[in-house]
Amino acid sequence: MTKYITILLTFYVFFQSCKPRVNNPTILMTSYNYQIWLSNIDSIDQRDSSILFLDSTILENGKKIYLEKYLKDSISINNSYSISKTGIEYYGQACLTLDSIFITKDSILLIRSYYDRKNSQDEESEIFWNTKLGIVGVYNSGGWGSLNLIERQNDSSGIKDCLYHHLIKRHK
């Protein structure tokens, strides 16, 4: 009997040590969708807002994979991106890091990256993110003027509003 328990414990330890990832707790967030009208830059045109859940997984190579699950009208819409030491991948496409900005009164550093899928039109976007918060905003600067801002539950930094006003100020 001891022999079988030892074998079972050995297999248990082996399989537990071979886990490829560590899951973090699910985070509740709100996604806000705005339309930026350059012809009327001072108007705030919020089109929609949705509750979403953010799951993240850390792979052994240090890459962090995020999956946003929108639950709206009984339809689950998923967005995914990953962050590693070298930058961000949005929908499987590596994004070019453009620069970084300090935003909010707490001086939160956001990295601004550029998403552009080859042989595709009007998807060009600026991704605002950092390693702690993940994606904070996606601005479709390529033609549609769509802005998606993400706010975590119980966030008191005001990062959503600060990023919105930063983008508006940039266009003035």
Residue 10, domain member (yes or no):
no
Tens of pLDDT, residue by residue over 24-55, are 557 778 888 888 887 777 888 888 887 777 77
- The CA distance from 74 to 166, in Å, is 34
Q: What tokens were used for 71? A: 């639950």
> How far is 32 from 166, CA to CA, in rounded Å?
16
What domain range is 48 assigned to?
A: 21-171
Residue 105 lies in a domain: yes
Report if residue 31 sits inside a domain.
yes
Evaluate whether residue 100 is within a structural domain.
yes
Q: What share of the chain is helix, strand, coil (3-state, %, to 5)?
A: 20, 50, 30
Q: How far is CA 86 from the centre of its chain?
A: 16
Residue 104 pLDDT greater than 80, yes or no? no
Asked whether residue 108 is domain-assigned, the answer is yes
Residues 60-82: pLDDT tens digits? 666 677 776 666 555 555 667 88
Residue 139: predicted pLDDT: 92
Q: How many domains does the chain have?
A: 1
Tell me the pTM: 0.76
Is residue 13 situated within a structural domain?
no
Q: Looking at the domain assignment, is residue 3 inside a domain?
A: no
- CA 169/CA 172 separation, integer angstroms: 5
